[in-house]
Amino acid sequence: MTKETGTKKKQAEKNRKIGIAQKLLAMCLLPMLIICIGITVFATKSLRTGIEAEIEKSLQIVATSVNETYTNLYKGDYSVSQSGRVTKGDAKISGETQLIDGLQAKTGFEVSMIFSTRRLITTLRNEKGARANGIEVDSEVMERIYQGKVVFQKKHELFGQLYYVYYQPLINSDGSVMGAIEVAMGASSVEELVQEQVTGIISFAVSLVGITAIFVALLSGAMVKTMQEIQSYLNQLVNGELGTKADKKLQKRNDELGDIYRISVKLQETLRKIVEDIKVSSDNLVESANQLASMSQNTRSTMDDVVGSMDEIWRGATNQAEHSTTANDNVLMISEQIDLIMEEVEQLTGLAARMDEDEKASEQIVEELSNSNEDTKRSIDRVEEQIAVMYQSIQGIKEAVGMIQAIADETDLLSLNASIEAARAGEAGKGFGVVAEQICKLADQSSKSASDIENIIEEFLSISDRMVDVMGEVKTNMEHQQGKLEETKEKYEKLSAGVECSLANIDNIKGKVSVLSDSRTAVRDNIEELAGISQKNADSSQGTMNAAKGVGSTMQNLEQASENLLRLSDVLKDCLVVFKM
């Protein structure tokens, strides 16, 4: 990893205040805390309600027991005198507190008997320790009692202390309500019991949350570490570092992170193979271009020699035509110029011999040029094959980049679905929504990196297309050159026939020199024929020389095309520098 990449990573970590591990922990703990708080509140309320219901039942049982006891002990109805004397039937019960005192000692409940609106028999004591006889009871409570209803009060204050109080009407045989039995239980002991139970519930909830927090922290930490390793591996691929070794432990994971890592490793192997193939193709391209340039230079040099030779042939043919014309003009003086004709015939024989030698040499040069042209064509075919291989490799890279783009798009879609689910979850899904947003950002970064690589690939494809166009031009020029060479061969065949004919005619002239005087007409015809052949030779030589010049120009174009191939190869190598094997 380069220094610049490391700096960017540190800056990103600095800007990221809350990581995925913290978000996962918060996402798990916040709902759990809310649930624990809700359960604690509900349990406390239910516990308090249950205890209060049991207290009400207990107080009801005590009140009923007191009422039944007095009913069984004393026959008759309750009555109260003006002086506050309470009787039941004929028995006086006011001042008789042994029964309720014994009950209070055994149960801890305070018991009072209320008549009119005052407590006349009671175990309650005021702040000074005296019995609270004659103390008024709340008018609203008494109103309900005289309606024949029982009354249960929670945390009702009596003499500076809080009590659970139960009132049960005292009803005579005629159905009239004479008062009520009041049973009270201190609220402090109940509060202590409730507080003890609530403390136990809270302790259990806190312990459960703590254990869960530790488990989630360890699990999320391991997941984040794996994600960071995968991110580091992908960053190295983005930076072109294709020699990074894969972690075998991560490859063996059977979850989604393991699948992502295995896909990343497969992507690295594919990119590595493609880049290696491109580099080999580039080297082969350079070698073929160099061979093509060397062959074009050699061919061009050979064609310069051919042009020089053909120029000499043309001059010889022109001279031959001129001499033939002179011989035709002087045919009337053959008899006087017989010795001169013999000399001219000897000179013509030498010229024909040299022309024959030059023609054979030129024919050999043309054959070599044709072979060189075939070699050049085969080299061009190899270059074209290498370009096709390179094009297929670039297409492979493009498919791999498409794979990255597909992964990024799928990740982006998953993050969108996660955001929707987080929005549905409301407040409890905020943490999950933040995670989805982070995943979306990572998907966007992966998509941008894939787009950058795709741009480079498009540049590769453009370069490959230009190389194909250049090779097409070179191939066309070579085919044109091959046609010219075939045409040159045909002309040399004609030239060879003319030379052979010239030699035959010269031999004929030699044989008939002795009868030149008698055969002036035949000699004139032969000289005219020789002049025509010489003119054809001159014309053929001129055409061959022009064709050779055209081949030289074609070789120059071929040399320029090979230089263009070398420049394109250098551009391709510069593009591959980013990949480190």
What is the amino acid identity at position 280? V
Q: Sheet of 161-171: strands edge to edge? A: 118-122, 110-115, 177-186, 161-171, 151-158
C-beta separation of 526 from 505 below 8 A = yes
* 286: in domain: yes
DSSP bridge partners of 180: 114, 169
434 Cβ contact list (under 8 Å, min separation 6)? 18, 23
Three-state SS string across 382-430, please? Answer: HHHHHHHHHHHHHHHHHHHHHHHHHHHHHHHHHHHHHHHHHHHHHHHHH
Q: What is the residue-level pLDDT of the chain in tens, covering all 581 positions?
A: 444 555 555 555 555 556 666 777 777 778 878 887 888 888 788 878 888 888 889 889 999 988 888 888 888 888 888 877 888 888 888 878 888 888 888 888 899 999 888 888 888 888 787 888 888 888 899 899 999 899 998 888 888 788 999 999 998 988 889 899 999 988 887 778 778 888 888 888 888 888 887 887 777 777 777 777 777 777 877 777 766 777 777 777 787 777 887 887 787 778 778 877 777 777 777 777 677 677 767 776 776 776 676 677 667 667 666 666 776 666 556 556 666 766 766 776 777 677 667 667 766 776 777 777 777 777 777 777 777 777 777 777 777 777 777 776 777 777 677 678 767 776 766 666 676 677 777 767 777 777 877 787 777 677 777 777 777 777 787 777 777 767 777 776 776 777 677 667 667 766 766 665 566 566 567 666 766 776 776 677 677 667 666 766 776 777 677 677 777 767 766 666 555 55
Q: Are residues 285 and 385 in the same domain?
A: yes
User: Which tokens in the block code for residue 254?
Assistant: 């059977």
The last residue of a domain, from among 152, 186, 220 = 186
What is d(CA 45, CA 67) in angstroms, rounded to the nearest whole number?
32
Q: Name the domain count of the chain.
A: 2
Q: The CATH number of the domain where 95 resides is what?
A: 3.30.450.20
User: Which tokens in the block code for residue 117?
Assistant: 């609106």
474 Cβ contact list (under 8 Å, min separation 6)? 292, 380, 557, 558, 561, 562
What is d(CA 296, CA 273) in angstroms, rounded to the nearest whole number?
34
Q: Are residues 381 and 489 in the same domain?
A: yes
* 53: in domain: no
* 522: in domain: yes
Full-model pTM: 0.37
DSSP bridge partners of 119: 114
Give, as one character, the DSSP assignment of residue 246.
P
Q: Terminal CA-to-CA distance of the chain, rounded, Å?
A: 13
Q: Are residues 525 and 399 in the same domain?
A: yes
Could you give the C-alpha distances from 428 to 267, 425, 431, 462, 579, in angstroms and in order? 38, 6, 7, 52, 45
Q: Could you tell me the residue range of the domain that residue 137 belongs to?
A: 78-186
* 511: in domain: yes
Q: Are residues 163 and 305 in the same domain?
A: no
Quick one: which of 144, 178, 126, 151 has its CA closest to 63? 151
